[in-house]
Amino acid sequence: MTAAEQATANIGVVGLAVMGSNLARNLASREGNTVAIYNRSYSKTETLLTEHPEAGFVPASTYEEFAASLSTPRTAIIMVQAGKGTDAVIDALTEAFEPGDIIVDGGNALFTDTIRREKAVRETGINFVGAGISGGEEGALLGPSIMPGGSAEAWQTLGPILKSIAAIAEGEPCVTHVGTDGAGHFVKMIHNGIEYADMQLIAEAYDLIRQGTGATPAEIADIFAEWNKGELESYLIEITAEVLRQVDAKTDKPLVDVILDQAGSKGTGVWTVQTALDLGVPVSGIAEAVFARAVSSKPAQRAASSALPGPSEIPVVADKAAFIEDVRQAVYASKIIAYSQGFDAIVAGAEEYNWDIKKGEIAKIWRGGCIIRARFLNRITEAYAENPGLVALVAAPYFTEAIGGTQDSWRRVVGDAAAAGIPTPAFSSSLAYYDSLRAPRLPAALVQGQRDFFGAHTYKRVDMDGTFHTLWSGDRTEIEATDSH
Ligand SMILES: NC(=O)c1ccc[n+]([C@@H]2O[C@H](COP(=O)([O-])OP(=O)(O)OC[C@H]3O[C@@H](n4cnc5c(N)ncnc54)[C@H](OP(=O)(O)O)[C@@H]3O)[C@@H](O)[C@H]2O)c1
C-alpha cells in the first residue's frame, strides 16, 4: 500500500498518558474525525486500542508510520511531558512531516520555549502551534478550554478541529486563536496563575471560618455549596465543597484533616510570577498564593518557628453568620483583584511580545472546560467589550461597584485575621494592592528620596518638569540632573 492509501486519519495524537489518551478519545468521538495515535513505548498504544475499540484509532509504532497514516496537511497534537520530551517529539515529527503540515504542542510549555520552537519549526515550512489546554483529565476527555497560539494559516485548519472538542459555554466553544507563536501558552500560564490565587483564597476562607466559628469541614462544605449559588459560582468552589465533605475511610475523620498540609506545584504559578516580575506587573495575589504553597512545604522552618508568640488575646466571633458573610465578600473582592492582575499581565505580555490578544475573548473561553471557570467571567468579557483599552480591570464600572460593596467586610476580615494570628496572605495582599491603586499619594516619593540619597538615582517633582538630584553629601541644594531612573 502507498503512503497516500494508508493516510486514513485527519488528526493525530502523540503521547498517550492520561491527557493524550483522553484527548484522542475526545477527538475520535466527534463526527468526521479519524485519529492516528503514537506513543514512545508501544504498550500505551496497545492499551488504548484494547480498551477503546469504539474509537477506531489508527495506531502507529514509528513516527514514519504515524506520518503516513495522516492525510495532508498532517495535523498532530503532542501531549507529552513538557520540556525535553516535547523537544524530542518535535524533532522526530519535523523529520517525518512535510512543509504545510501542523504540529501542535498541547502540553504545559513555558511560552518562551514555544516562541523558540515556533521559530525553529517555521524554518522547515511546517506550522507549529503552542496550545494551552486546561481542564485536567476530565476536560481533555469531555471538553477542555483551549488556548492556541501560532499562525493564522495553521488556525484555518486547526480551528474547526479544536472547536469540535472544546467545552461549550453558553453555546460557544471555549477556544479562540489567542495570538501568534507563544501567545497561547502565555495565556494558559496566566490562567494557571489565577488558578493558584483562586485556590488560595478559598483555602484562606475555609481556614478563617473553621478557626473563627468552629464549623466542621462538612458544615463548611454546606457553606461553600451555598456560595456556589451566587456570584462566587465556580468549578473551584464546587469541588472544594466535595473535598471538604469527603470522609477518610481509614480513620473516619474528614479527609482534609488527614492530608499532609504541604501544598505541591508543577511550576506554572512560579512562571507566572517570574514573568510578571520581568514585565513589571504586580500580580501580588498570585505571588502570595505561590509563596503560601512554598511556606507550607518547609517543614523544618515551620517546626523551628512553631513556638513563636502569637496574639495575647484571640478575638471571639460574636455573630457567626455575619462573619461568614464577611469572609464571602472578602473572597469575592480578592478574586476580582486576582483576575484583574492576571489580565494586566496579559495586557503587558501582549505589548511586550506583539500579540493582538482580545481580552474579552480570553474571558469567554475560560467560561467552560477550564479550572477557573466561573460565573463572573461574563462580566470581564463585558468590561473589555465596553472599553477595549481598559487599563485596569478593577477600574471597570461593574468591578468598581462590585468591589466597592465588599469594602467593610473585606477590611474587617483582614483585620480580624491579623488580630487572631490567622495567616491570610492572599486576602491581605489583595487589599494592600487595592489600597495602593486608589491612594492619591504613595510613599514611593520617600523611596525616590532614599534612592537619590544613596545612589544619586534622581527624582521628578510634582510641580515642574525635569529630573532633579539633591547634593546630599554637599550643601544639599537641588540641581537639575539627567534622568537615571
Ligand atoms: N495532567 C493534567 O491534568 C494536565 C493538564 C493540562 C496539561 N497537562 C500537560 O499535558 C502534557 C501531558 O500530560 P500527562 O499527565 O498526560 O503526561 P506526562 O506524565 O506529563 O508525560 C508522559 C508522556 O510523555 C511521553 N514522553 C516523555 N518523554 C518522552 C520523549 N522523550 N519522547 C517521547 N515521548 C515522551 C511518555 O511516553 P512513554 O509512555 O513512552 O513514557 C508519556 O506518553 C504535559 O505537558 C502536561 O503538563 C497536563
DSSP letters spanning 75-142: EEEE-S-TTHHHHHHHHHHHHHS-TT-EEEE-S---HHHHHHHHHHHHTTT-EEEEEEEESHHHHHHH
d(CA 209, CA 116): 47
Q: Is 195 a catalytic residue?
A: yes
Position 5 scores a pLDDT of 58
User: What pTM did the predictor assign?
Assistant: 0.95
Q: Is 188 a catalytic residue?
A: yes
Q: How far is ligand 1, taken at its centre, from the CA of residue 371, in Å?
A: 19
Task: Find the Cα–Cα–Cα–Cα dihedral 100, 105, 111, 114, rounded to 10°.
Answer: -40
Q: Which atom of ligand 1 is nearest to the CA of 80?
A: 24
Say if residues 239 and 255 touch (Cβ distance below 8 Å).
Answer: no
Cell 537641588 appears where? Answer: 478
- Residue 105: how many other CB atoms lie within 10 Å: 34
Q: Which residues are paired to 132 by β-bridges? A: 147
10 lines ligand 1 (CB under 6 A): no
Specify the DSSP element, H or E, that contains 299. Answer: helix 299-304
Say if residues 394 and 434 touch (Cβ distance below 8 Å).
Answer: yes
20 lines ligand 1 (CB under 6 A): yes
Which residues of the chain, if any, have pLDDT below 70? 1-6, 483-485
Q: How far is ligand 1, taken at its centre, from the CA of residue 87, in Å?
A: 12
**Closest listed residue to residue 176, CA positions, set 188, 185, 163:** 163
Position 482 scores a pLDDT of 81
d(CA 410, CA 111): 35
Q: Which atom of ligand 1 is nearest to the CA of 84?
A: 31
94 lines ligand 1 (CB under 6 A): no
Position 207 scores a pLDDT of 98
For the chain, the C-alpha Rg in angstroms (whole number) is 26
The CA distances from residue 128 to 145, 154, 183, in Å, are 19, 8, 12
Position 243 scores a pLDDT of 98
Say if residues 127 and 154 touch (Cβ distance below 8 Å).
Answer: yes
d(CA 395, CA 378): 16
Position 484 scores a pLDDT of 62
255 lines ligand 1 (CB under 6 A): no
Q: How far is ligand 1, taken at its centre, from the CA of residue 18, in Å?
A: 8
The three cell numbers locating residue 251:
480513620
Strands 127-134 and 102-105: parallel
Q: How far is ligand 1, taken at its centre, from the CA of residue 38, in Å?
A: 12
Q: Name 104's Cβ contacts closer than 8 Å, sequence gap at least 6.
A: 75, 76, 77, 78, 128, 129, 130, 131, 148, 150, 158
Position 385 scores a pLDDT of 93
Q: Which residues are paired to 11 by β-bridges? A: 35
Q: Name 460's Cβ contacts closer than 8 Å, sequence gap at least 6.
A: 448, 466, 467, 468
How far apart, in Å, do the first and last CA atoms of the chain sit?
69
